[in-house]
Amino acid sequence: MAIPDYQRIMLPLLRFASDGKIHSIHDAYVAMTEHFGLTEEERRQLLPSGKQRIIDNRVGWARTYLFKAGLLHSPKRGYFQITEAGQALLKTNPQALTKDDLLRYEGFKEFLDPPSRPKPKAKATAAELPKTPEESLELIVEELKKGLAQELLERIKECTPDFFEQLVVDLLVKMGYGGSRKEAGEVLRRSRDGGIDGIIKQDKLGLDTIYVQAKRWENSVGRPEIQRFVGALQGVKARRGVFITTSNFTQDAEDYANSIETRVILIDGQQLASLMIEYDLGVATVDTYAVKRIDSDYFAED
């Protein structure tokens, strides 16, 4: 049979995890290969880049979508386990599971359409909105970025707080603040940081500085944490600061940061991962695909 797409893999993958045990992604590759009875030739087929097997790539995406819907969770990197929501879904005896079926779960809807993105008044189905090849390509790239961002956040959360603080300074240097890493960024000792984790020059001449707070958290960052950071800034007579976290900020925290005279920029986990991808921090380019068009100047005869 043909290699199944990621949607056809989702329900068998969820059933594979129904024993409640912690499984590795490698176990999932093997199980799905056997479940769909793939031939040896089909098992060996690679993506156009030649970097990964097609079946492994599709199983990986099926796992990512089930994870974002809250039907699976990741107890540790590279492993997954079914959740209570996943078990509840299986008890309804579904005959199939598609991307549209996952839209009933808020986590999956936010994954596809984050709250910060402007919402259209009416959302048409894919059949009602035919896409050009360029639009389809951009959507694919966006989905790849989302998957990479999720992997980045999982990896960051495994790192030590000290490493995370240095990562934040490295990112700001990559973004052009202060010149070289050696010259611009300084990570402070935790025993004497006074609520500030790092200092970075705003420009190469060092005419002003930006103070940094880095929180590798799971829970939302609330207003009290931002108030403490602002107090620390005032203690050193600083005018601006950046508060970066691996989680997110409460609405109260955002409202407070927007209402005070001291300039405080809040960067949550999703923004952090997006900036790391944009500025090539902790990521590497695997392949580059060139999209070409007609060169009208070449064909101009006059």
- 276 and 167 housed in the same domain: yes
The per-residue pLDDT for 188 is 53
The per-residue pLDDT for 190 is 45
Instruction: Tell me the CATH number at 24.
Output: 1.10.10
How far apart are the C-alpha atoms of 39 and 36, rounded to whole Å? 9
Q: Which residue has the higher pLDDT, 161 or 63?
A: 63
% of residues, the chain, pLDDT over 90: 48
Q: Which residue has the higher pLDDT, 40 or 240?
A: 40
Does the residue 298 lie in any domain? yes
- 270 and 200 housed in the same domain: yes
Tell me the per-residue pLDDT of 252-265, one tens digit each, with 9 for 90 and over. Answer: 999 999 999 889 99
Does the residue 123 lie in any domain? no
Note whether 271 and 242 are within 8 A (CB): no
- CA 45, chain centre distance (Å): 28
- 35 and 166 housed in the same domain: no
Expressed as residue numbers, the domain containing 38 is: 6-118
Instruction: For residue 202, report the phi and psi dihedrals to the nearest 5 degrees.
Output: -70, -30
- 90 and 148 housed in the same domain: no
The Cα-based distances of 44 to 32, 38, 39, 59 in angstroms read 14, 10, 9, 14
Instruction: For residue 193, report the phi and psi dihedrals to the nearest 5 degrees.
Output: -80, -20
Does the residue 76 lie in any domain? yes
The residues, any chain, with a CB within 8 Å of residue 1's CB and separated by 6 or more, are 36, 37, 38, 42
Q: Which residues of 214-229 are buried (b: 16+ CB within 10 A; e: fewer)?
A: bbbeeeebebebbeeb
- 74 and 202 housed in the same domain: no
Residue 266 pLDDT more than 80?
Answer: yes
Q: Give the end of a domain, one of 86, 118, 150.
A: 118
291-297 long-range contacts (CB < 8 A, ≥24 apart) are 291/134, 291/137
Instruction: For residue 282, report the phi and psi dihedrals to the nearest 5 degrees.
Output: 80, 10
* Largest pairwise CA distance in the chain: 73
Q: Give the end of a domain, one of 95, 118, 141.
A: 118
How far apart are the C-alpha atoms of 207 and 129, rounded to whole Å? 51
Mean pLDDT of 54-66: 92
- 262 and 182 housed in the same domain: yes
Instruction: Give the residue from 183, 223, 227 showing the smallest Cα distance to 201.
Output: 183
The per-residue pLDDT for 7 is 93
* Domains in the chain, number: 2
The per-residue pLDDT for 22 is 97
- 153 and 114 housed in the same domain: no
- 29 and 155 housed in the same domain: no
Q: Which residues pair with 198 in a beta bridge?
A: 187, 212
- 282 and 187 housed in the same domain: yes
What is the model's pTM? 0.67
209 pLDDT band, cuts 50/70/90, is confident
Residue 89 pLDDT more than 90?
Answer: yes
Residue 31 pLDDT more than 70?
Answer: yes
Residue 128 pLDDT more than 50?
Answer: no
183 pLDDT band, cuts 50/70/90, is low
Q: Which residue has the higher pLDDT, 142 or 189?
A: 142
Does the residue 89 lie in any domain? yes
Does the residue 43 lie in any domain? yes
- 199 and 68 housed in the same domain: no
Residue 70 pLDDT more than 50?
Answer: yes
Mean pLDDT of 127-134: 57
- 60 and 188 housed in the same domain: no
Q: Which residues of 105-140 are buried (b: 16+ CB within 10 A; e: fewer)?
A: beebeebeeeeeeeeeeeeeeeeeeeeeeeeeeeee
Mean pLDDT of 177-183: 65
Residue 278 pLDDT more than 60?
Answer: yes
Instruction: Tell me the CATH number at 186.
Output: 3.40.1350.10
Q: Give the end of a domain, one of 118, 141, 163.
A: 118
- 136 and 221 housed in the same domain: yes
The per-residue pLDDT for 129 is 45
Tell me the per-residue pLDDT of 212-245, one tens digit each, with 9 for 90 and over. Answer: 888 888 889 999 999 999 998 988 888 889 999 9
The per-residue pLDDT for 191 is 37
Quick one: residue 77, left, alpha or beta (phi over 0 = left, psi -120 to 50 = alpha)? Answer: beta
